[in-house]
Amino acid sequence: MLTLIVFTPLLAGVFVLCMQREQLNAIRRAAFFLSLIPFALSLDMLLGFDATNGGMQFVESFAWIPQFNIRYQVGVDGLSLWLVLLTTFLTPLVLLAARSDVHKRLKEYMFFMLALETGMLGAFVALDLFLFYVFWEVMLVPMYFLIGVWGGARRIYAAIKFVLFTMVGGLLMLVAILYLATHAQAGQPSFDLLHLYDVSLPMEAQRWLFAAFALAFAIKVPMFPLHTWLPDAHVEAPTGGSVILAGILLKLGTYGFLRFAIPLFPVAAAEATPYIATLAVIGIVYGALVAMVQPDLKKLVAYSSVSHLGFVMLGLFALNPQGVMGGIYQMLNHGLSTGALFLLVGVLYERRHTRLIAEFGGLWKQMPKYAVCFLIVMLSSIGLPGLNGFVGEFLILMGAFKAQPWLAAVATSGVVLGAVYMLWMFQRVMFGPLTNPANATLPDLSSVERAVLIPLLVMIVLMGVYPAPFLSRMEPAVTAYLARIEKKMAAVDAPSAMFAKGAVDP
Amino acid sequence: MIAATPVAWLVLLPVLLLTGTALLVMVTDLWMEGPDRDGLGWLGIVGLAVTAVASITLWNQGETGFGGMMSVDRYALFFNLIFCLAAGLTLLMSMSYLELTDIRVGDYYTLILFATVGMMVMAAATDLIVIFLGLEVMSIAVYVLAGIWRRQLRSTEAALKYFLLGAFATGFLLFGIAMLYGATGSTTLNVIAGHLAKAGGEQRMLATIGMALLLIGFGFKVAAVPFHAWTPDVYEGAPTSITALMAVGVKAAAFAAFTRVFLHGLAGLSGDWSVVLWGLAVLTMTVGNVVAVLQQNIKRMLAYSSIAHAGYLLVGMVANGENGGSAVLFYLLGYALMNLGAFAVVMALGKRGEPNERLEDYAGVGFRHPFLGFAMAIFMLSLAGVPPLVGFAGKFYLFAAAVKSGYIGLAVIGVLNSVVSMYYYVGVLVQMYMTEGSADVPSPTTRPYLLATMLVTVIATILLGVFPSGAYEFARQAFLSLG
């Protein structure tokens, strides 16, 4: 089941790649409809998901590289379930949006998008560290092409920067994975995540390993001060690339903390919490302040991502049920809201070929449907009650206040700042007189654009007014997750004999 | 006193088969007329295939012959397969390449086959003198091959450089062999290993000096920094197909002997050489990768990248033990596939009179020749170590062995080097897919042999990357047959 969900996009991509280059409409249609298959499959999985079970479900496991005890092992639990759905939900929308924003090499664009989906889904469901690493790195390649081929003027610089930043973190993590797998216990190496959860490591090793994992994930999140690749990548990427990047790819960083860095090395994580939480709060405030002064809409949204992901990190590192659930919920929210924001910015860019806020003004009169969509998405992004963003931010702040009241207090100011820059931006773009004559003829949303945006708006409202079904499926997993961490922290400093062998490096 | 040992025909079987093929090609060349000489190439490929099959059938019956001077253990057979693969694909892609040059076909094919014979002798040799013999058989053939495109000045220059420096390195190697003979009274690896286990004082010192001299000789052949200076010039100047053979076959043969001598024969000195190799590995990886970033010519870039790959392989040797050795063998196999493929693409881009070897010549190729671009992208990403391609699997095994043996620092330096290498490999992709170019290149489909080479290597690069465990198991068994 999971294997099918993970690999159908890739197969669909290969199928699209084999089509005739000239049949643009056929390619669009095929890619879109084929991408609905994994979505349907994942909905089916959602129906079969046991909401009371906090453990792994739909597990599939086969030997892959027996000499190193590497297994092809996948499964979902309440932590990853919704991220899988987010991925399968957003990808068809992005492919549909490609109707208006991709003008060259459509076939290859569709292929890379679908291949990227396979990489992301695989990373979300992998339960073997080696397998996870493979998916983690595989994602780089399509994203690199998406930015580099279909991006803006400085796309090559942005693409290479993205690849190099991510690779530095990823490869150091690989060394950590190797160390963990070969040294964690006597005898056979093991890459099995569920097994490694139960291994307790001495402090010294935990600190180093946590540092390596945390670096990789922090780059991906991206946490301040490792965020510099993000605005470049976002601004240069095509609209679809930005949506996927912000909507899903960044979640892999926070998911990595949730799934690997924290539960594998909980004591080191607890030690690092003050620093990480501080960086997260700096990210929240810094991201918001920088977003405020951006003249470019897309950059504004990109920096707002830095701010929002700071909230997610703050929640995850609160290490209590509210914080963690809020963090996961906020990951989904950010995927939907920011994805929608990038799509909306893309709509404007499509029409005017500029994203400068100063170029617009008074658009409400000209494009009322567009303005209403934008309004809802923007309000969700700043966390208006009744929309999804509120639920996540509320839970996170609740958890954070329990864990670190002072940091939470500062973070709250980020909420205010978020409202400031968003509302100010909205006002400058939408209200006032229609000053720029170039905007006087802009058409309102087309039917395709509406078809892309409406599912997102529905989800934004649904998750805001009725969060129960989402939260209830997370809760058992979060409880089990925190219990495991607690147990492991209690059992700390039982040094395993393997680590007594020091390093041999001269 | 020379005892008459019975001739161990089985030990010689692969070597004899291939020598026979080489002679046959040489003689047939005399009777062939007309411009179409593909038949000679096919004859060579058939001979290589037969040799490979013979090697596979010997897998379960390792045998030592000539008083312990040669052995067809699984180790040698594994390398035989790499050599047959490398030489076979070189022949295959040459058939499309030679029509663009004025290279004499018959000599060319014969020399490639003789070079392969030398490689096989090197891998099977369990005696330093026989290793030397194999090395010379291989090297002399390759010296000539490097300069075989006589109208090209740079080809001649490459041959001369390679020959002079190669002779120099051979001197070091011989001197080292002499020292080891002086220390232990034998040139046979088993005997040397036995002596070193209990040697002390002066003997040990002499052996250590011998070991250091051997290290220089092998370091030259595998192009390890600081013995690498010849590589870029020779790789650039030689005909591209020969560059491929040098980067893959010669390097694998040198590593075959290098690994056997150090990990088996000189295991008693591992305390001494592992420190030196550690340093060499770091230097080789770093210099190779950093200088590769600066290259504008694709053949020079691949030359420096092959230096860097020698550095990764040294990591496996430092890691020692079962994991390290098996990783080296597996890596050489994967490296052969992806590098041969990359050179095939380089050849496909050239046309008569215009080698198109500058990076700018790759501008826009990705979309104008989708398969060519796709193949090159796969090779570049695999060389950079992106999963799930064979280059990643190879690096994974190497670094896993290093980490397992406690060389964490070395593994970290290795992965940071991979990041640097990503920069220049991706640079090729940038040219191919992200810049508009106008270079007009004949489509590879018009040259079926090149296309076939690329197809084989692309498929193998992907397959061995996704399912590496079978090949790794072979490599492990091969390595375990040592000693």
Quick: pLDDT tens for B327-363. Answer: 999 999 999 999 999 999 988 887 766 777 888 888 8
In angstroms, the CA B262 to CA B260 distance is: 6
Residue A137 sits at the chain B interface (C-beta within 8 Å) = yes
Is B313's pLDDT higher than 90? yes
> Is residue A179 less than 8 Å (CB to CB) from chain B?
yes
User: pLDDT tens, B183-242?
Assistant: 988 899 989 988 888 877 888 889 999 999 999 999 999 999 899 989 999 999 999 999
* DSSP summary character for residue B430: I
Segment among A159-168, B276-285, B362-371 with least mean pLDDT: B362-371
pLDDT at A493 over 70: no
Question: What's the maximum distance between 2 C-alpha atoms anywhere in chain B?
Answer: 72
Q: What is the pLDDT of residue B439?
A: 59
pTM for the structure as a whole: 0.91
Give pLDDT tens digits for A318-348: 888 999 999 999 999 999 999 999 999 988 8
What three-state secondary structure class fits B70? strand
Q: Single out the residue of A158, A160, A137 nearest to residue B293, CA to CA.
A: A160
Per residue in A21-61, pLDDT (tens digit) is 778 888 888 889 999 999 999 999 999 888 888 888 898 98
User: Residue A204's pLDDT is what?
Assistant: 84
d(CA B144, CA B125): 24
The pLDDT mean for chain A works out to 87
pLDDT of residue B2 exceeding 90? no
How many whole angstroms separate alpha carbon A145 and alpha carbon B109? 40
Cα–Cα distance between A172 and A209 in angstroms, integer?
9
Task: Name the 3-class secondary structure at B424.
Answer: helix
Residues facing A128 on adjacent strands: A192
Taking residues A218-232, what's their average pLDDT? 87
Question: How much is the average pLDDT of B284-290?
Answer: 94
**Interface touch A149/B434, C-beta < 8 Å:** yes
What mean pLDDT comes out for the span A368-372?
Answer: 89
Tokens of B75: 């180790």
Residue A494, pLDDT score: 47
Q: How sure is the predictor about A492, in pLDDT bands with cuts at 50, 70 and 90?
A: low
Which position has the token pair 């950079």? B384
Strand, helix or coil for residue A128: strand
Residue B75's DSSP bridge partners are none
pLDDT band for position A222 (cuts 50, 70, 90): confident
Report how far Cα A389 is from the mean position of its chain's Cα atoms. Answer: 15
Residue A497: the pLDDT is 41
Mean local confidence (pLDDT), A431-457: 85
Q: Tokens 């390449």 label which residue?
A: B97
Instruction: Quote the CA–CA distance of B342 and B240 in Å, as a whole number.
Output: 11
CA distance A407 to A396: 12
- DSSP labels for A342-353? HHHHHHHHHHHS
Cβ distance B439 to B445 under 8 Å?
no
Q: How far apart are CA A182 and CA B3, in angstroms?
A: 50
> Which residue stretches of B294-357 are H helix?
298-319, 321-349
Average pLDDT over residues A110-133: 93
Residue of B nearest to A162 (CA): B423
B423: which residues sit within 8 A by CB, 6+ positions away?
A160, A164, B293
Q: What is the pLDDT of residue A495?
A: 47
A contacts of B426 (beta carbons < 8 Å): 144, 160, 163
| C-alpha–C-alpha distance, residues B220 and B218, integer Å | 5
Structure tokens at A117: 């989906």
- Residues of A whose CB is below 8 A from B367: 105, 108
B-chain residues near A502 (CB < 8 A): 406
Q: Kindly tell me if the per-residue pLDDT of A395 is higher than 80.
A: yes
Q: What is the pLDDT of residues B407-463, one digit of tens each?
A: 999 999 999 999 999 999 988 988 888 887 765 666 656 678 888 999 999 999 999
Which tokens hold the place of B34?
């007309």
Q: What range does the domain containing B69 cover?
A: 5-480
What 3-state DSSP class applies to A189? coil
Nearest-Cα residue of chain A relative to residue B473: A67
pLDDT of residue B444: 59
CA atoms within 13 A on the CB side of A338: 31
Torsion, Cα of A130, B304, B328, B142 (10° steps): 150
| Integer Cα distance of A278 and A287 in angstroms | 14
Residue-wise DSSP of B375-391: HHHHHHHHHHT-TTSHH
Task: Assess contact for A117 and A87: CB atoms under 8 A.
Answer: yes
d(CA A108, CA B365): 15
Among the ranges given (A5-14, A377-386, B361-370), the one the predictor scored with the smallest mean pLDDT: B361-370
> Looking at residue B336, what DSSP letter applies?
H
Say which of B403, B433, B435 has its CB closest to residue A145: B433
Q: Which residues does residue B71 pair with via DSSP β-bridges, in sequence order? A: B64
Cβ of B403 within 8 Å of Cβ of A179? The answer is yes
All residues at 6 or more sequence positions from B184 whose CB lies less than 8 Å from its CB, including other chains? B191, B192, B195, B196, B199, B203, B207
Question: Distance, in angstroms, between B462 CA and closest chain A CA?
Answer: 13
The answer to whether B120 touches B150, Cβ cutoff 8 Å, is no
3-class DSSP assignment, residue B294: coil
- Could you tell me the two tokens for B318? 């430092």
> Strand, helix or coil at A486?
helix
Q: Residue A235: pLDDT above 90?
A: no
* pLDDT computed for residue B35 by the predictor: 61
Per DSSP, the residues of A144-160 read HHHHHHH--TTHHHHHH
From residue A388, alpha-carbon distances to A46, A254, A264, B346 in Å are 20, 19, 30, 54
What's the mean pLDDT in B247-253?
94
Burial of A271 (0-12, 13-18, 19+ CB in 10 A): middle
Nearest residue in chain B measured CA to CA from A153: B434
pLDDT in tens, A158-216: 888 888 888 888 899 999 999 888 887 767 788 888 888 888 788 888 889 999 999 99
Measure the CA–CA gap between B41 and A189, rounded to whole angstroms.
46
d(CA B43, CA A91): 53
Distance CA(A58)–CA(A125), nearest Å, equals: 10
**Do B253 and B83 contact (CB within 8 A), yes or no?**
yes
Q: Which residues pair with A74 in a beta bridge?
A: A60, A126
DSSP A324-364: HHHHHHHHHHHHHHHHHHHHHHHHHHHHHS--BGGG---HH
- B461's CB contacts (< 8 A; 6+ apart) are B334, B337, B338, B341, B378, B379, B382, B389, B390, B391
Inter-chain residue contact A148 with B388, CB threshold 8 Å: no
DSSP reduced 3-state for A75? strand
Q: How far is CA A71 from the centre of its chain?
A: 25
Give me the helices (H) in A353-404, please. 363-366, 368-381, 388-403
Helix, strand, coil shares of chain A, percent, nearest 5, are 75, 5, 20
Task: Give residue A151's region: left, alpha or beta (phi > 0; psi -120 to 50).
Answer: beta
Strands A70-76, A57-65: pairing kind: antiparallel
Q: Domain total for chain B? A: 1
Report the distance separating Cα B446 and Cα B463, nearest Å. 26
Nearest chain A residue to B405 by CA distance is A504
Cβ–Cβ gap A503/B430 under 8 Å: no
Query: CB B422 to CB A164 under 8 A?
Result: yes
Cβ pairs bridging A and B (under 8 Å): 104
Query: Which range is least confidently modeled, A299-313, B61-75, B108-122?
Result: B61-75
pLDDT for B438: 66
The span from the CA of A151 to the CA of B167, in Å, is: 52
Contact call for B411 and A167, based on CB within 8 A? no
Backbone torsion region of residue B7, taken as left when φ is above 0, otherwise alpha when ψ lies between -120 and 50, otherwise beta: beta
pLDDT band at A99 (very low <50, low <70, confident <90, very high): confident
Of A108, A141, A171, the CB nearest to B415: A171
How many C-beta atoms lie closer than 10 Å to residue A375's C-beta? 13
Angle between helices A129-138 and A140-150 (to 10 degrees): 10
pLDDT digit string (tens) for A17-27? Answer: 888 877 888 88
Contacts of residue A141 in chain B, CB cutoff 8 Å?
A: 381, 386
Whether residues A175 and B412 touch (CB distance < 8 A) is answered with yes
Contact B422, A163 (CB under 8 A): yes
Do residues A337 and A389 touch, judged by C-beta distance below 8 A? Answer: yes
How far is C-alpha B293 from the geometric centre of its chain's CA atoms? 22
* Percentage of chain A lying above the pLDDT 70 cut: 97
How many helices and strands (H and E) does chain B possess?
Answer: 20, 2
